[in-house]
Chain A
C-alpha cells in the first residue's frame, strides 16, 4: 500500500514539474537545466544511507563512491548555476 502512496507523490510531483517549467523564457533554459541538474544530486541522500549503514565492505565502498560523486554533482551544480545567473544579471543591467 505504501507503494501506491509513493506513486501518488510521483504523479503530483511530475505535474508540478510540468507546470513550473511550462512558461520559461528561452534565456533561462541553460541555467534551469543546470539548476535542475543540481537538484538531481539529491541522490546523495540515498548514497549517505548506503554508505553509512553497517554493511559488508563492497557495499560501503560503493556507497562511499556514490557519496563522493553525488557531492561533486551537488556542489558543482549549484555553483555553476549561480555563476551563470550572475553573468546573466550583469548582462541585463548593462
Chain B
C-alpha cells in the first residue's frame, strides 16, 4: 500500500493543504483577497494533478472528457453571468458540488470494495449531506432568480412534516448500516435515502425568504464542505478531509457572522418560517 507513488501523492497533499489554508487566510483581507483566491486555485490544481498519478486510476479517457466538459461549462458559466446575478451563481455552483459528492458516495457504495460499518456510515453521511446541499441550493437559486416566489413558503404542519422526514432519514440510515447486504443488493434503501435527503433540502430552504437567502447559501456552502469531508473519510483521502473540514468550519462561522450583521441568530433565520420556534438543527 505504501508505495513510493502513494508517498509522493500524500506529500503533495500536505503542500496543497498548506496552500489552501494560506489562500483562505489571504482571502480574509481586502488587499490580498485576489491573491488568496489564486493561491487556493494553485492548491486545487496541485491536488488534482497529483491524484492522477494514483495507481488505482487505469482509464483516463473518460476522466479527460469529463474534466474538459466540466471546465468548459464552468468557464462559460462564470464568464457569462451578470455581476448582479452572482449570489444565485454561487448557489448553483454549490448545488453542483453537492451533487458531485452524492455521486462520489454512490460510486463508493456501488464499487462495493472494503465496505466496513464505518465506511458505510460516512458514505451515508456524504450522500445525505450532498443531497441536502444539492436540492437546497437549487431551491435557493430558484428563489433568488425569481423562478419561484422569493418569499418564505410555509404551510400548517410543516414542522411535523420535517420531523417525519428526519425520523425517516434516521430509519433508513439505520437500515443501511445495520443491514448492508440487503441495502447493497437491492439498492432500494439507497434510493429512498437519496430521495429523503433531496426532500429535506427543499424543506430546509422553502421557509426561508428575502434578505435571509445569503445566510442560507453560506450554510449550504458549509454543508458541501462537510459532504466532501465525509467522502474523504469514506475514501481515506487526507486532502478531502482537510479541505472539507476547512470549508465546513469556515462556512459555519461565516454564516454566523452574516447573521450577526443582520442582528439575527442562526436559529432565528432557519426556523423563522415556522410559527413555533422549535426542532433541533440537523
Contacts and interface: CB of A to CB of B under 8 A. Distances in A.
B58 interface: yes
A2 B70 CA distance: 34
Given A15-B249, A78-B44, A80-B90, A71 B67 contact: yes
Report which residue of A36, A60, A88 has the largest number of chain B beta carbons within 10 angstroms of its beta carbon: A36
Report which residue of A26, A28, A48 has the largest number of chain B beta carbons within 10 angstroms of its beta carbon: A48
Interface in B220-256: 221, 224-225, 227-229, 231-251, 253-254
A79 to B, nearest CB: 3
Interface in B37-88: 37-38, 40-41, 44, 47-48, 51-52, 54, 56-60, 62-63, 65-67, 69-71, 73-75, 77-79, 81, 83, 86-87
Given A50-B104, A62-B106, A42 B27 contact: no
B100 A88 contact: no
A94 interface: no
Interface residues of A, number: 80
Nearest to B81: A80
Contact of A23 (B28, B110, B229): B28
Report which residue of A58, A80, A89 has the largest number of chain B beta carbons within 10 angstroms of its beta carbon: A80
A23 B27 CA distance: 11
A30 B27 CA distance: 11
A46 B104 contact: yes
Dominant secondary structure of chain A at its interface with chain B: helix
Interface residues of B, number: 97
A59 B107 contact: yes
A68 B59 contact: no
Interface stretch (B91-99, B150-158, B166-174): B91-99
A77 B100 contact: no
Contact of B100 (A30, A73, A76): A73
Given A17-B245, A50-B111, A89 B74 contact: no
A10 B224 CA distance: 15
B66 A38 contact: no
A79 B79 contact: yes
A60 B107 CA distance: 8
Nearest to A83: B78
A23 B203 CA distance: 32
B160 interface: no
B56 A30 contact: no
Nearest to B103: A66
Given A35-B37, A72-B73, A30 B214 contact: yes
Interface of A: 2-3, 6, 9-10, 13-18, 20-56, 58-60, 62-89, 92
